Chain A
Amino acid sequence: MKKELFIERVLLFLALSSIGALVTITVFIFWEGIPLIASAGLKNFLLSSHWAPTRGHFGILAMIISSVFVTLGALILGVLLGLACAITLAEFAPERVKILLKPTLELLAGIPSVVYGFLGVVWLVPLIRDYLGGPGLSLLAGSVILGIMILPTVISISIDALSAVPDLYRDGSIALGATNWQTVHRVVLPAASSGIIPAIILGMGRAIGETMAVIMVAGNALKIPTSVLDPVRTLTANIALELGYASGRHREALFATGIVLFVIIMILNLTASAITRRR
């Protein structure tokens, strides 16, 4: 009995320590970043696009907008391809194809982001520059690479959601004379939507937090983009590019950028879990 209690305590401690890590990180980011937001003013920080940290200008609006657009672009591609792929695998593909394709798609998640970035620089960027114009390193390049990177997340969670829909629904719909496709998009998809929406939101969280691949293909210019061919700098890219040589207020400003990113991702995750729980 004593032994059992002991093991229970150890497990509790281990469980708490992972939460402890999260709390430490949160406190640290806010501790480092809040002083700058307080002294520069929240409005000057969030609503100005003038970023010259060594001269006292800390506006990150351009980067917020860039992060949002790159993520939206990634979602358009990632969700369209991902959902199509998930529907095919869960509803139409024969068992043998499914067994082969699902692990292959999950392998996609194991490829390091540098590799995606490198492929982007070598193939995608020259294609965009030659056929569409601009410097090639662009919002479009970032979106396409991120869209591919979020595929595994979107696909595997969507497949789980689709498989969780009871066969009763499908049989009922077919019995009423609906075709396979009508069954999928009128009955199965709506029934699975509380699992598919979190899949999209988690993909979104992955896209907005991705750093390495984006630094390599997006160009990192500080302007607010006016076209998909413009180079952009995302919030994550800003932190990774400058933290190495930042000190004093500049460093604080990068932590403050981290706070903004943190808040955005928190909101996304909370939304995702709220939708899942509503089921």
Chain B
Amino acid sequence: MSKTAEISPIALVQDSNGSVREIVADDPYAIGYISMGLVDSRVKAVSVDGVAPTRENIKNHEYKLVRRFLLVARELRPGPCRDFVNFVLSAKGQSLLESEGLVGVED
């Protein structure tokens, strides 16, 4: 796909992951993208080049359709902001993410 390619004007747009999942679950011909944490039994996650989107495949970079989640701050001084980042990166934070169906940062 070239860098100048644009999203098709006939593509439907929804304002949340949840409504994309609703539509895909209801419509036999629909395909869409949502966060992995929201995939449930009513929709199927698609394999890309024969690679299924499992935790392992995402962690070892086998699965290509991955979007990173970013934490942004103006500067990371000690304080609540830094504490939050540390918490997210801590073992507890990471296991919470994983239990929500997301994939933690690789070490």
Give A contacts to B, CB under 8 Å. Answer: 49, 51-52, 55, 62, 121, 125-126, 129, 135-137, 215-216, 219-223, 231, 233, 240-241
Contact = CB atoms under 8 A, between A and B. Distances in A.
Nearest to A117: B19
B27 A223 contact: no
Interface residues of B, number: 16
Interface on chain A toward B: helix, strand, loop, or mixed SS? Answer: mixed
Contacts of A223: 9-10
B27 A221 contact: no
- By CB atoms of chain A within 10 A, which of B10, B12, B22 has the most? B12
B27 A52 contact: no
B73 interface: no
A220 B19 contact: no
6 closest A-B pairs by CB: A220-B13, A222-B9, A223-B9, A219-B12, A223-B10, A52-B6
A220 B6 CA distance: 16
B9 A215 contact: no
Contact of A135 (B4, B7, B12): B12
A221 B13 contact: yes
Interface of B: 4, 6-7, 9-15, 19, 22-23, 26-27, 30
A50 to B, nearest CB: 8
Contacts of A219: 12-13
Contact of B9 (A62, A121, A136): A62
A220 B27 contact: no
A241 B15 contact: yes
Contacts of B15: 215, 220, 240-241
Contacts of B30: 135
A231 B12 contact: yes
A221 B11 contact: yes
A121 B22 contact: yes
B14 A220 contact: yes
Given A52-B7, A135-B12, A219-B12, 20 more contacts: A51-B9, A55-B6, A121-B19, A121-B22, A125-B26, A129-B26, A129-B27, A135-B30, A136-B26, A137-B12, A137-B23, A216-B19, A219-B13, A220-B12, A220-B14, A220-B15, A221-B10, A221-B11, A221-B13, A222-B9
Contacts of A231: 10, 12
Contacts of B7: 52
Contacts of A125: 26
Contact of B27 (A51, A136, A215): A136
A34 B15 CA distance: 27
Given A135-B27, A136-B27, A221 B6 contact: no
B6 to A, nearest CB: 5
A223 to B, nearest CB: 4
